Amino acid sequence: MNLERLDLEKYEQLEMDRNRTYADTGFQQWVSQLNISQSYEDREGILRANEINNQYDYSGLAGNKSTKFSVSSILSLFK
């Protein structure tokens, strides 16, 4: 069995578990009681990607490529 097939099987199992959870009336009640929105989105990854992307100086793409770092941005990678 190759890794791609194994990953696909894990993904399919995850989707089945997810669908079973969403279909559970207890889960639906819990979501309703806590007033949880289905549109929730964790933006931490996007914010970190933007921060890292902003460290790169794109002005010299054809010539000298340099990155600009600050101590705080480097330390934030270790959080």
pLDDT of residue 24: 94
- Measured CA to CA, the distance from residue 72 to residue 5 in angstroms comes to 41
Q: What's the pLDDT at 62? A: 55
3-state secondary structure of 79: coil
Q: DSSP letter at 62?
A: S
Res 58: pLDDT: 67
Domain boundaries defined on the chain: 1-40, 41-79
pLDDT average, residue stretch 74-78? 62
* Predicted pLDDT at 66: 52
Encode pLDDT of 18-63 as tens digits.
999 989 999 999 988 988 876 667 788 888 888 888 887 766 665 5
Residue type, 79: K
Q: Give the model's pLDDT for residue 20.
A: 94
Tell me the whole-structure pTM to 2 decimals.
0.41
